[in-house]
Structure 1
Amino acid sequence: MLAGASLLLSLVAVAVSVRRLRRRRPARIVPMREAIAEPRNVMRESQKNGHSADAALIHWSPQMLRSVLADELPDAQVIVVSNREPYIHNLSSQGVELVVPASGLVSALEPITRACAGTWIAYGGGTADRLTVDENDRIAVPPDNPSYTLRRVWLSEEEHQGYYLGFANEGLWPLCHIAFTRPLFRASDWETYEAVNRKFADTVVAEARNERPIVLVQDYHFALLPRMIRERLPEAIVITFWHIPWPNSEVFSICPWREKILDGLLGSSIIGFHTRFHCSNFVESVDRFLESRIEREDSAISYGGETSLVHAYPISIAWPPDLLAKLPPVEECRARVRRRFGLADDVKLCVGVERLDYTKGILDRFQALDALFSQHPEWIGKLVFLQIAAPSRGSLPAYRALHDECEALADELNQRYGKDGYRPVEMVAQHHTQAEVYEIYRAADICMVTSLHDGMNLVAKEFVAARDDEQGVLLLSTFAGASKELLEALIVNPYDAAMMGEALLQALTMPGQEQTERMRRMREVVRDNDVYRWAGSMLLDAARLRKRGDLDRVTGGDIPPQANVISMFARRVSAL
């Protein structure tokens, strides 16, 4: 281990020396994850040189996150900002009911906020949310083991309509997703979006214990928030993570307020996307519409006297999911689900699980089922497709139309291929708990994730994590970020129904041993790249930026930034 650590420290030292000799070129900002949190790359280099890579491997966990905060960001307050809250309180006939939303964003961020003992700021939309907070609009969560603070922000119906349903979901959402739904931009929605972003900025400042918090801004609802925070807390580290795709600059040019959105995001210290492709699209948009300096090798943008890093941080889930310990074995899950939907033992079960959204490709997978039955009628009666489609944004016309189309196509397929009580499509348009969703994952023979465009898609990773029996087949859209990691899935083009039908046939006839080999490899990927690594990579980059800023203030900028890398890396290796 010491030999490997010495080698890596020597390589960093050589890099420092080379940089010192190249004074004419701006110093490269090296992300900490390149030195620490990319064990596969380090392993390849170490093995090439005949050295062990053990010293370079980090086992990311809540404890490791707390260690990073304590060692590299001492006394730092972590503030998470998102539109959706992790715990919702609603009034019911039994009193106050607690709801944990089945959201990819929530499932990714909740364990991180627990580990950091931070503050989560979110819109309080539950009917009993106001009844459960204290006089400062705060509540300690989770209810059974309070470990962080939820601070709720109140919005009027007009604010929610204009900011969330209007500009965010009728404007930015279709703009960023290539799903051929025209974005709608209204000046009134934009004004409300600005006002709500300002309201959240006021809340961040009010919750900050000092002038140097670490603020994790989440998603397209808050494109203006980083700049607003930077204006009032200039020493804060603002990390903005954009969970959805970023379009190319030509598509982005459609937005009437494109320059303001870019300016708002460049108030961030770090801007994160799921893939390098989306990073490149963002950089190209900045290059086209703003006067800035682009350091493409370093993925950095200098704008208005400040530098923002633009990096890829593929999001993931906690490993292993806490729910697995509470669920029965796979065979019992299969029996329960089959009883619930009246499925015979010899019928294969294919599932889809997501919000009812036009970006998810639900209609396309129904068409793939039609293609399979048309070309291979022997599977009629032997395969059922179960679509869990949680209602979403039902007040918007595009979503109401999608619901009607899905129901109509499901009915058509059931009439065409159904007989004697057999229905090939079961569409369940209702919300499910995470435990219910994981039970369905464990019961399935096939899971279809056929997004027309997706930043990542955590359903794919949840399905893999749920299958500790190492069985089941994942069909995964090439247009989902997860396809860049889960290479052992059957990668499909959701726009090609015939091709997806053939992929379904391949999944249905795949031998158990091949399923095991594919699933085992995908589980290794999800295990090694869990949500703690996602957060840890960003926090390590934040720590390096903070240390560089502190040294620059002390030394006038004479110490090269790589010196910080050496000291931080040395401490991290010693802790392994």
Structure 2
Amino acid sequence: MPDNSSYLVVPSSVLWLLGFAVVSISILIIATMVLRARRLRSGMHAAGATEPTGSLLPEFEKNGQSAAASLVQWSPETLRHILAKELPDAQVIVVSNREPYIHNRKGDDIQLVVPASGLVSALEPITRACAGTWIAYGGGSADRLVVDENDRVEVPPDSPSYTLRRVWLSEEEQQGYYLGFANEGLWPLCHIAFTRPIFRASDWESYEAVNRKFADTVVAEARNERPIVLVQDYHFALLPRMIRERLPEAIIITFWHIPWPNSEVFSICPWREKILEGLLGSSIVGFHTQFHCNNFIDSVDRFLESRIEREDSAISYGGQISLVHAYPISIEWPPAHLGKLPDVAQCRRRIREKFGLAEDVKLCVGVERLDYTKGILDRFDALDELLKLHPEWIGKVALLQIAAPSRGTLPAYQQLYEECLHRADDINQRYGREGYTPVLMVTEHYSQVQVYEIYRAADVCMVTSLHDGMNLVAKEFVAARDDEQGVLLLSMFAGASKELLEALIVNPYDAATMGDALLQALTMSQEEQRQRMQRMREIVRDNNVYRWAGSMLLDAARLRKRVAVDRAVGAAPAAPGNVISLLDRKRVAAL
């Protein structure tokens, strides 16, 4: 009989506890690995990287495609290659309220105007590269005079490469749809700028009617039943569903250029369900940031009976699936306007002569529409704080504020205009003197070439948005500075702050801290400016507007191929994605 005196007798309860601990630690390790993977994917979105939709459509994922996307040099040629290889014979239709070219009467002549619009500057080079059709409201005083019998005109005028199709709206339609529901309702609703949204039943009726009119135009312009339609912004929340009803095989990509609020704020809108239903007519709904994607998904989850796959950012509603993805918008690289301008030194001399600035005065600039979301008053407060706490800067720094008039018939914009003039006058009276004006307020429209000249002349660019989807001024300033000098002071509430981390990130509601950041910008060494600007220019170059558009077109190609696969195997067509043919197949494949 063996001697058992040397063996340790362990009670079964202790063994059970040890086993439970081992299992718990294993679960914790696995959960940590999963969490890190999800954070990595979220980090890609925050940094502006575009993750292909391969997680939802594994059969279309090509070897190394996710990694290769960040190595591609995105250009017009890249877009043309995508269209030729992935979307042969595809017709690209862009829909927006604002048109890329406006024809106005000037005496007996017709003047061509290119609006200073972030949306136009982003989409115009894309439409050129795709040789597509751009549908927009024709609001110019001479717009009707230059179109053909089908309300079309070829643009750009000097080298036509795509078709502009104009839609005519009555004064009543423009008042209700654009100034009313879109800009007194949706605009303040989506921007946290503490301006109360106004909703009127008559405005909603105009909004529905105008969306229907644009849907009719899209159908009329479509050469077949499978166009790729790029719907732009909050003016057309109902349009995707209206197009889907008549062109069920179309690939509809809706990009929402402004923020999407949380579901509690969105609940204020009386027609919230109809807006969500309209947007879910899209194959893909795009936002600038993942945060806005999450807010949209939460709103759908709260107000509609739908099926949501959060891991895949996909929503199934009414037998169709919509992907909800982040596509950080950007600008053309290199900007075409730079080729029309002299070097930085000459731009600097010209701007200083124009505005009467001495050579030793540091120039800060702000460039945007006159809008209460842009933080113009807060920018003035920051300068006031700087001059109050550091009087040695009086006479040594000036702020040139370019504020293009916008929506001037609306009371909120009239009030803002008066407040800006009053605040500028107050600062100028307290700190100004002979030959020195601290705030130069210019409420005029400037062309993009003029704006780029101002960027090149500036020491500091102030982007102090109270809430913004992206804000392309920040990226334009960076792109304009091929001398690798200048400092970008950027609001934490602009989407661009998630990418341009080398900017001085500020809270525009904190005037004192923003004043300190302005002092840091004004005293920053040239070497530090160069290091920061080099990195930001790399980001804007690599994540340019062609990548933004190319990412959406690649996702459109995958959806179109999915439809072709469904047809080949005799499955119910996914138009653009029957939930059975996508999400359920994914689950079956995983079993």
Normalising by structure 2, report the TM-score. 0.87
* Corresponding position of 2:56: 28
2:415 to 401, 408, 411: 401
Aligned 8 A contact 2:55 2:312 in 1: no
How far off is 1:549 after superposition? 1.1
Distance 1:299 1:30, change over 3 A: farther
Alpha-carbon distance in 2 for matches of 1:35, 1:283? 30
Alpha-carbon distance in 2 for matches of 1:469, 1:27? 41
* Corresponding position of 2:42: none
Alpha-carbon distance in 2 for matches of 1:514, 1:329? 21
Distance 1:514 1:92, change over 3 A: same
* Corresponding position of 2:510: 496
| 2:458 aligned with 1:444 | yes
* Corresponding position of 1:188: 202
Alpha-carbon distance in 1 for matches of 2:199, 2:58? 38
How far off is 1:28 after superposition? 3.0
2:235 to 209, 221, 227: 221
* Corresponding position of 2:175: 161
- Correspondences of 1:70-219 after superposition (within 5 Å): 70-219=84-233
- Correspondences of 1:287-326 after superposition (within 5 Å): 287-326=301-340
How far off is 1:63 after superposition? 1.0
Aligned 8 A contact 1:36 1:56 in 2: no
* Corresponding position of 1:539: 553
Distance 1:56 1:197, change over 3 A: closer
Alpha-carbon distance in 1 for matches of 2:469, 2:359? 36
Alpha-carbon distance in 1 for matches of 2:514, 2:159? 45
Local SS of the residue matching 1:203: helix
Aligned 8 A contact 2:566 2:581 in 1: no
Deviations 1:308-331 (A, max 9, x none): 000000000010001111100000
Alpha-carbon distance in 2 for matches of 1:34, 1:273? 25
* Corresponding position of 1:60: 74
Local SS of the residue matching 1:279: helix
* Corresponding position of 1:279: 293
How far off is 1:56 after superposition? 6.8
2:428 to 401, 414, 434: 414
Q: Which moved more, 1:419-428 or 1:269-278?
A: 419-428
Aligned 8 A contact 1:364 1:495 in 2: yes
Normalising by structure 1, report the TM-score. 0.89
* Corresponding position of 2:387: 373
* Corresponding position of 1:258: 272
Matched letter for residue 492 of structure 1? V
Local SS of the residue matching 2:316: strand
2:566 to 552, 557, 568: 552
Deviations 1:294-343 (A, max 9, x none): 00000000000000000000000010001111100000000000000000
Deviations 1:154-205 (A, max 9, x none): 0000000000000000000000000000000000000000000000000000
* Corresponding position of 1:330: 344
Aligned 8 A contact 2:97 2:136 in 1: yes
Distance 1:424 1:189, change over 3 A: same
Deviations 1:193-243 (A, max 9, x none): 000000000000000000000000000000000000000000000000000
Alpha-carbon distance in 2 for matches of 1:540, 1:161? 37
Aligned 8 A contact 1:33 1:540 in 2: no
Segments of 5+ residues of structure 2 without an aligned counterpart are 1-53, 573-579, 587-591
* Corresponding position of 2:440: 426
How far off is 1:93 after superposition? 2.0
* Corresponding position of 1:14: none
* Corresponding position of 2:12: none
Aligned 8 A contact 1:471 1:516 in 2: yes
Alpha-carbon distance in 2 for matches of 1:230, 1:216? 13
Alpha-carbon distance in 2 for matches of 1:145, 1:85? 17
Local SS of the residue matching 2:377: helix
1:460 to 466, 470, 474: 474
Local SS of the residue matching 2:553: helix
Deviations 1:465-498 (A, max 9, x none): 0000000000000000000000000000000000
Deviations 1:89-119 (A, max 9, x none): 0000251000000000000000000000000
Local SS of the residue matching 1:366: helix
How far off is 1:123 after superposition? 0.0
| 2:550 aligned with 1:522 | no
Matched letter for residue 162 of structure 1? G
Deviations 1:518-566 (A, max 9, x none): 000000000000000000000000000010111012114599979x99x
Deviations 1:36-57 (A, max 9, x none): 775xxx3xxxxxxxxxx7x972
Superposed structure 1 runs of 4+ greater than 4 Å apart: 30-38, 557-562
1:482 to 493, 496, 511: 496
Segments of 5+ residues of structure 1 without an aligned counterpart are 1-25, 43-52, 566-576
How far off is 1:59 after superposition? 1.4
Aligned 8 A contact 1:31 1:541 in 2: no
Percentage of matched positions with identical amino acids: 79
Alpha-carbon distance in 2 for matches of 1:361, 1:446? 16
Alpha-carbon distance in 2 for matches of 1:32, 1:381? 61
Aligned 8 A contact 2:57 2:558 in 1: no
Aligned 8 A contact 1:177 1:454 in 2: yes
Aligned residues: 525
Aligned 8 A contact 2:366 2:400 in 1: yes
Distance 1:56 1:390, change over 3 A: closer
CA RMSD of aligned residues (A): 2.0
Alpha-carbon distance in 1 for matches of 2:84, 2:501? 36
Distance 1:30 1:386, change over 3 A: farther
* Corresponding position of 1:505: 519
Local SS of the residue matching 1:66: helix
Aligned 8 A contact 1:413 1:424 in 2: yes
Alpha-carbon distance in 2 for matches of 1:345, 1:302? 61
Local SS of the residue matching 1:97: strand
Aligned 8 A contact 1:351 1:448 in 2: yes
Aligned 8 A contact 1:293 1:303 in 2: yes
* Corresponding position of 1:269: 283
Matched letter for residue 197 of structure 2? P
Aligned 8 A contact 2:102 2:143 in 1: yes
Deviations 1:139-165 (A, max 9, x none): 000000000000000000000000000
Local SS of the residue matching 1:310: strand
Aligned 8 A contact 1:33 1:537 in 2: no
Distance 1:206 1:467, change over 3 A: same
Distance 1:369 1:30, change over 3 A: farther
Matched letter for residue 271 of structure 1? V
Local SS of the residue matching 1:308: strand
Alpha-carbon distance in 2 for matches of 1:314, 1:35? 24
Aligned 8 A contact 2:226 2:251 in 1: yes
